[in-house]
Amino acid sequence: MGREIHMLLFPFFAHGHAIPTVDMAKLFASRGVKTTIVTTPVNASFFSNTIQRSKDSGIHIDVQLLKFPAAEVGLPEGFESVDMLPTSPDENFGMMMKFLQAVQLLQEPFEELLQECKPDCLVADLFFPWATDAANKLGIPRLVFHGTSYFSLCVTECMRLYEPHKNVQSDSEPFLVPNLPGDIELTRSQLPDSMKQDAETHFTKIVKAAKEAELKSHGVVVNSFYELEANYADYYRNVLGKKAWHVGPVSLCNRATIDKAERGKKSAIDEHECLKWLDSKQPNSVLYICFGSMACFTSAQLKEIAMGLEASELQFIWVVRKQKNDNEDEEWLPEGFEKRTEGKGLIIRGWAPQVLILDHEAVGGFVTHCGWNSTLEGVCAGVPMVTWPTFAEQFYNEKLVTRVLKIGVEVGARKWVRLVGDFVKREAIEKAVTELMKGDEADEMRNRAKALAEAAKKAIEKGGSSHSDLHALIEEISLRSH
């Protein structure tokens, strides 16, 4: 047996990035790899329960802290996570720019830490492009973690290489993504701002730097499994020539140990109350609605959702992200809505135990923003989805769910709009949720979703595709370090 190898993991400061990285750390540590997560004090507090539970079960994960330079860029002390940004898009953008400046200032302290730890491998988030140079200086292989699917990595790369969006006459004219398997159609309005802008902004600079850093990195680690998107895993590795390992769905390593502080945040509802409510429902009869931790809809949009749900007459659990201005807290609810839907609907204001809810047999559909963590959690639970992308790479994930996997129905969001998303009317919402839960193809979609959930479980078992890729990655790092 050779010496123990040491993996250092450096997640971006946002729940959507930290959660899968912590799960990945558990995977490495459970294979006997010395594992350390680098983060800041406030971010460490979000997942300290998970780390403690791992220790209690015999899986040790070390945490190294860096001081976040909030004050240096004019942010309040303790402001260390993207999830703390204001919900209004204008305020959010200004503070996000300051936040990214602060992230840039971490380069030097991070290099010092790297020199001190001298790990055998660094897994760093794409938003730390400078981590590649830091690692290369010390001869440490750096792996990039994007936190998304092979499919969206392929779309992003084909869009960058061939720029098909520059050949259409309008924002709504569809075009095919060139050279990509599966005839995937997009429109210019569904693309990220950074792709459509010709002028260089602070954010497009980071995207460009991330791309260049990836080319100089040792490879990419992907939170997915081969059977979910085999064509795109092959395309990414064989046609685009990227070195990549799939080790997911990483959330499955947490299924057995989820409890009160599920996924590092306190739920806004008592889990037992929630499960008791679900226990009283028929299998596949409840629709679960949640848009992740970043999207923040306007009161007008929330009202449309409420009206659409009521018109559909479906039973539902609806997670509503709390707006910052609490005095307007309930203005979005139509008069008498909660009384009329009593017993039929459950509104959770704040954080919900999503994995527990999705895994319950009463849940038969999931309305999602198509963030990759949520999409994978839906897949692992075998639940078909209504897709409602808002920004980031979510429109790409929507195509994977609806066109490739055929386990979803599009709600009809057409425009990429940071945080608030495109406005969708109640009629479209009612139509999509009804089609998903009771339509002609509802059973077929559900069967396909259940088959994928089985494939996900097999992928992480001994001999499964992700289990084998993880083993191959650890072997390669081990040989390299010797």
Q: Which residues are catalytic?
A: 17, 125
- State the Cα–Cα distance between residues 268 and 472, nearest whole angstrom: 40
Radius of gyration (Cα) for the chain, nearest Å? 22
Contacts of 160 (CB under 8 A, 6+ apart): 195, 211
- State the Cα–Cα distance between residues 228 and 267, nearest whole angstrom: 30
Q: Which of 127, 141, 122, 56 is CA-nearest to residue 96?
A: 127
Map residue 465 onto helix, strand or coil: helix
- DSSP 8-state code for residue 120: S
Question: Would you say 129 and 206 are in contact if contact means Cβ atoms under 8 Å apart?
Answer: yes
Helix axes of 465-481 and 442-460: crossing angle, nearest 10 degrees: 30
Alpha-helix runs per DSSP H in 220-286:
230-234, 271-279
Residue 8's DSSP bridge partners are 36, 122
Residue 417 in tokens: 């709009």
373: left (phi over 0), alpha (psi -120 to 50) or beta: alpha
Question: Would you say 125 and 17 are in contact if contact means Cβ atoms under 8 Å apart?
Answer: yes
CB-based contacts of 422-428 (< 8 A; 24+ apart in sequence): 422/390, 423/300, 423/301, 423/304, 424/301, 424/304, 424/388, 425/304, 425/308, 426/304, 426/305, 426/307, 426/308, 426/311, 427/308, 428/308
Question: Would you say 377 and 355 are in contact if contact means Cβ atoms under 8 Å apart?
Answer: yes
Q: Tokens 């720029």 sit at which residue?
A: 163
Tell whether omega for the bond before 249 is within 30 degrees of 0, i.e. cis: yes
Burial 383-420 (b: 16+ CB within 10 A, else e): bbbbbbbbbbbbbbbbbbbbebbebbbbbbbbbbbbbb
